[in-house]
A and B are shown apart, each in its own frame.
Chain A
Amino acid sequence: MSRLSWFNTVSLTLGFAFLYIPMIILIIFSFNESKLVTVWAGFSTKWYGELVQNEAFLDAAWVTLRVAVFSSTLATILGTAAAYVLVRGGRFFGRTLFSGMIYAPLVMPEVITGLSLLLLFIGIGLDRGILTIVLAHTTFSMCFVSVVVSSRLVTFDRSLEEAALDLGCSPGQAFRLVTLPIIAPAVVSGWLLAFTLSLDDLVIASFTSGPSATTLPIKIFSAVRLGVSPEINALSTLMIAVVTVGVITASLVTKRAMMRQKQDEQAAARTE
């Protein structure tokens, strides 16, 4: 199994070509001189220049960023608590309903989530703006966080927590000193997932935002409806670049943390 057969090589090559060629084309044509996006007319960075001067886009980007930071942080706290309760909480009243509410938003069509939250906000008289988008994003992304964190909690050696409790830790201390450091990589990737889900969301934000708060996806969507434009290509390229750098950094950091953890475990095994 050390080498790939020709069939596997072909499917991997075609598969990754399919996944990446559209984005590569988009990036190349963001440096196009011409306003006609599909005709190459020479290298230029002028669309990036125009983008930086476009106040509407900058405002929307700022709103999006604030919403993403707040909602992903809240979602991480709530989602980690939910995962802990589901994996370690034992039996409690309404557990089935609770786990149902955790899994359902993962596959719920966004139009339904958006519509139902909007009707709730109007029903209780909450003005639509940044706050309502944050509440909406927190609700659906906490479920993603909880799935990521609970998959780590399931594989986690419970005797470590028990040892801490035997040695005199309170349950809170045991969680803070033992459980949290071990599940930390999953909590961090949960936060990153919640953050990107929030940055990315168009449908739920469209329902729950008011005229005072337009997010970047809403702005992009209304521009893109009119057709392909070089400015949107430039904006997309910037967003792809940020995500790529972020994901690669995050995966290197978690890889290093996991290696250190493994070394620590080996060292501990030796001293025994």
Chain B
Amino acid sequence: MRRAVLIAIPYVWLLALFLVPFFIVLKISLSDTALAIPPYTPTLDFSEGWTGIKNFFSQLDLENFVWLTEDDLYWKAYLSSVKIALISTILTLIVGYPIAYAMARAPEEWRPTFMMLVILPFWTSFLIRVYAWMGILSNEGYLNQLLLWTGIISTPLTILNTNTAVYIGIVYTYLPFMILPIYSSLERMDGSLIEAAEDLGCSRMQAFWLITIPLSRPGIIAGCFLVMIPVIGEFVIPSLLGGSGTLMIGKVLWEEFFSNRDWPVASAVAVVLLLILVIPIVLFQRNQQKQTEAEQ
């Protein structure tokens, strides 16, 4: 009995506030825009009984999804979000792996301090960390001042409000998500494996590629998913660091909802985004489950 209550409370909470809302989004994505409150039709009316429900379903259609394929903006935004997410995931991996590797190789008494230094930015506001780059990358910003002063460039570089700024922002803010899983898989690695490989005639590079990389693979996979999946729907970074040329679907959805007030189209955008994300999310969950089972 007690067990049933313990299971039921978080279960019902998640059903009501996580799963049901998705069905509402799905339903509204099939509705039409209307000048009303709420701004869509049809709304479900139980007072008319069975005919009301039948009417309701007969009015649902795929019009909004057809609209998404007809207007260039949407599929371009989806493609460019996926592209930006892939490139920035690779960049984050390139920046993050050496840091995780060096942390795992550091003397044991230093590791907690390094861990703390990686985690600390993660606790500070995401918004503030993105904002910090606005002052650095702008035309009169600190980076341009430094480069002009050292004479490397003679005219300021335009970085803010371009895709370059978006990449820098993503790598910066998502770096802890990449470092931590890789570090935890590298830390568990048995150092004598490398020694054995070297004794058997491997060079250091060979030992790294043949042993270290494969053993840290679960960490790499987890880190890449943790960066890539949320970046596809990212809103804050493209809207603060990106420019008019930065197309990302999170921003499109936001504007569709808040500026155009077109709820059905915003919902359709969300449904398609979710469909794109289902594959990586399922793969991520499988990877996590495999790891937990391996630990148990």
Proximity string of chain B (143-181) to chain A, C-beta cutoff 8 Å, 1 when within and 0 when not: 001000000000000000000000000001001000000
B21 at interface by CB-CB < 8 Å: yes
Q: Which of B50-58, B62-70, B93-101, B211-219 contacts A (4 or more CB under 8 A)?
A: B93-101
Docked complex Cα distance between A244 and B124 (Å): 8
Q: Which of A159-167, A232-240, A259-267 contacts B (4 or more CB under 8 A)?
A: A232-240
**Size category, B interface:** 35 or more
Docked complex Cα distance between A156 and B244 (Å): 52
> Which of the residues A92, A105, A202, A247 comes within 8 Å of B7, measured between beta carbons?
A92
> Which of the residues A85, A115, A199, A217 comes within 8 Å of B6, measured between beta carbons?
A85
Interface residues of B in 102-121 (CB under 8 A from A): 102-103, 105-107, 112, 114, 116-121
B196 at interface by CB-CB < 8 Å: no
> Which of the residues B11, B21, B128 comes within 8 Å of A236, measured between beta carbons?
B128
A11 touches B18 (CB 8 A): no
Determine which residue in B15, B112, B285 has the highest number of CB atoms from chain A within 10 A of its CB, and name it. B285
Instruction: Report the minimal beta-carbon distance from A41 to chain B, rounded to whole angstroms.
Output: 14
> Which of the residues A23, A89, A115, A135 comes within 8 Å of B132, measured between beta carbons?
A23
Interface size, chain A (Cβ < 8 Å): 89
B38 touches A142 (CB 8 A): no
> Which of the residues A85, A117, A203, A240 comes within 8 Å of B235, measured between beta carbons?
A203
Instruction: Report the minimal beta-carbon distance from B106 to chain A, rounded to whole angstroms.
Output: 6
Which residue of chain A has the shortest Cβ distance to B96 in the bound complex? A15
Determine which residue in A1, A4, A111, A247 has the highest number of CB atoms from chain B within 10 A of its CB, and name it. A111
Docked complex Cα distance between A112 and B273 (Å): 9
B257 at interface by CB-CB < 8 Å: yes
Chain A residues with Cβ under 8 A from B21's Cβ? 116-117, 119-120
A19 touches B10 (CB 8 A): no
A180 at interface by CB-CB < 8 Å: no
B277 touches A109 (CB 8 A): yes
Docked complex Cα distance between A78 and B20 (Å): 18
A-B pairs under 8 A by CB, number: 245
A224 at interface by CB-CB < 8 Å: yes
A94 at interface by CB-CB < 8 Å: yes
Chain B residues with Cβ under 8 A from A25's Cβ? 132, 135-136, 142
B134 at interface by CB-CB < 8 Å: yes
A103 touches B288 (CB 8 A): yes
Docked complex Cα distance between A206 and B254 (Å): 10
A240 touches B124 (CB 8 A): yes
Instruction: Report the minimal beta-carbon distance from B273 to chain A, rounded to whole angstroms.
Output: 6
A11 touches B10 (CB 8 A): no
Evaluate whether A19 and B175 lie within 8 angstroms (CB atoms) in the complex, with A154-B296, A172-B2 already known. yes
Proximity string of chain A (47-69) to chain B, C-beta cutoff 8 Å, 1 when within and 0 when not: 00000000000000000000000
Which residue of chain A has the shortest Cβ distance to B24 in the bound complex? A119
Chain A residues with Cβ under 8 A from B119's Cβ? 247
A12 touches B285 (CB 8 A): no
A15 touches B99 (CB 8 A): yes
Determine which residue in B3, B24, B129, B172 has the highest number of CB atoms from chain A within 10 A of its CB, and name it. B24
Docked complex Cα distance between A111 and B254 (Å): 7
Evaluate whether A116 and B25 lie within 8 angstroms (CB atoms) in the complex, with A1-B105, A4-B105 already known. yes
Docked complex Cα distance between A38 and B236 (Å): 22
7 nearest interchain CB pairs? A109-B233, A116-B21, A8-B102, A11-B98, A15-B99, A82-B10, A22-B132
> 11 additional contacts, CB 8 Å, given A26-B135, A203-B236, A236-B131?
A1-B105, A12-B102, A23-B128, A38-B142, A112-B270, A115-B257, A116-B25, A119-B28, A227-B134, A239-B124, A240-B124
